[in-house]
Amino acid sequence: MKKILILVIPILFLSSCVVYYKTEDVRKTIVSNVNTAKENQSSTDNDYRDKLDAYQWLEGYILNKNLEPFKSITKHKNEMSKSYEALRLKTDEIKALQFTFESLAKGKKKIKSDEEIWQDFKEIKKNMKRISAEIDRLNPKYAAASNALGNAISNSHFKILNKNELKTNIENNISQLRESSESTRIKITRYRRELDNAKNKIADSTYTQRSEMLNQMDQLLSGTENTQTDIQSALAELLKPLMLRSRNEIWTGKNTTTQKNIQIIQDGISQIKETQALFNKLASSLNENTGE
């Protein structure tokens, strides 16, 4: 950060102990100080927007904001915001001093010690020096708070996943599950047709037993389709625009909606695989009973 210069302007003397400042000399010094303050503030504004955006992006994924490490991350964010606001107010104050000076010096080439505005100008000079020193003190304080927030996020257990890779991986699993479900549906239809064709050739008890097995297989398939719907909903939640904030990455880790939805997806896939194993066991038993 550039430091703001102390307001030092040559004092010129007139007769009868009247001193004066050239208005243009004063103006140049004030403009230089204000421009330096604005430049520093612009850099601070950009950093603050970036850090706040990163915090708010992560915040959107947090389930319980009172749990660590997000609780500490929020504390660092609040410290950064406090430092930023203090610095912004001081920058506004120094810009206001420039406005006050221009109002007082309007139409004047000199500011003389025997004029009423002399004391006002001395006050501007004193305040410019004081505020400039405060800005120089606040700049490193803000930088430290900003770095602390960045480090708190980077060193937490929260990590970033690539949206497209995650989406492709989950959709591949869903596609395989759909193909398996369709194959299962075809098998059930075939088994029912074969059972109906054999109805008059087998005992009623056998027919009833096989019908119950097919009904159970139907229920398993229906449950699988419901689970697939839950998986799709969890994936949609992961990829909704509000969460992504125009990014191709997703925050994950303990206490995040990402972890919650990924867990739903993983549990759903595991549940479907278990159901498929049970279905295959029933199908094998049905085949044995039909002599296949």
Residue 36 CA neighbour count, 13 Å, CB half:
20
Looking at the structure of the chain, the number of domains it has is 2
17: left (phi over 0), alpha (psi -120 to 50) or beta: left
**Same structural domain for residues 72 and 207?**
no
Distances (CA, A) of 153 to 20, 37, 75: 55, 29, 12
Tens of pLDDT along the chain (292 residues) come to 665 554 444 444 444 567 878 888 888 888 998 999 999 999 999 999 999 999 999 999 999 999 999 999 999 999 999 999 999 999 999 999 999 999 988 888 888 888 888 888 889 989 998 999 999 999 999 999 999 999 999 999 999 999 889 889 888 988 888 888 888 889 888 888 988 888 888 888 888 888 998 999 889 888 888 898 899 999 888 888 676 667 888 999 999 999 999 999 999 999 988 988 888 888 888 776 654 4
- Of 156, 186, 202, which closes a domain? 156
Terminal alpha carbon distance of the chain: 83
Residue 276 CA neighbour count, 13 Å, CB half:
19
Name residues whose C-beta falls within 8 Å of residue 108's C-beta, 6 or more positions apart in sequence.
Answer: 23
Residue 269, domain extent: 160-289
**Same structural domain for residues 82 and 30?**
yes
- Of 120, 139, 156, which closes a domain? 156
pLDDT at residue 267, rounded to an integer? 94
**Same structural domain for residues 141 and 205?**
no
**Same structural domain for residues 29 and 128?**
yes
Give domain status of residue 6, yes or no.
Answer: no
Give domain status of residue 59, yes or no.
Answer: yes
pLDDT at residue 6, rounded to an integer? 47
**Same structural domain for residues 142 and 236?**
no
pLDDT at residue 25, rounded to an integer? 87
Distances (CA, A) of 154 to 56, 58, 162, 261, 278: 15, 11, 17, 23, 45
**Same structural domain for residues 104 and 126?**
yes
Distance separating alpha carbons of residues 179 and 41, to the nearest angstrom: 59
**Same structural domain for residues 201 and 103?**
no
- Of 156, 181, 202, which closes a domain? 156
**Same structural domain for residues 99 and 182?**
no
**Same structural domain for residues 136 and 17?**
yes
Q: Which residue has the tokens 């660590």?
A: 68
**Same structural domain for residues 235 and 146?**
no
pLDDT at residue 273, rounded to an integer? 87
pLDDT at residue 206, rounded to an integer? 86
**Same structural domain for residues 144 and 276?**
no
229-237 own/partner pairs: CB under 8 Å, 24+ apart: 230/264, 230/268, 231/170, 231/174, 231/177, 231/264, 231/265, 231/268, 231/269, 232/174, 234/261, 234/262, 234/264, 234/265, 234/268, 235/167, 235/170, 235/171, 235/174, 235/261, 235/265, 237/261
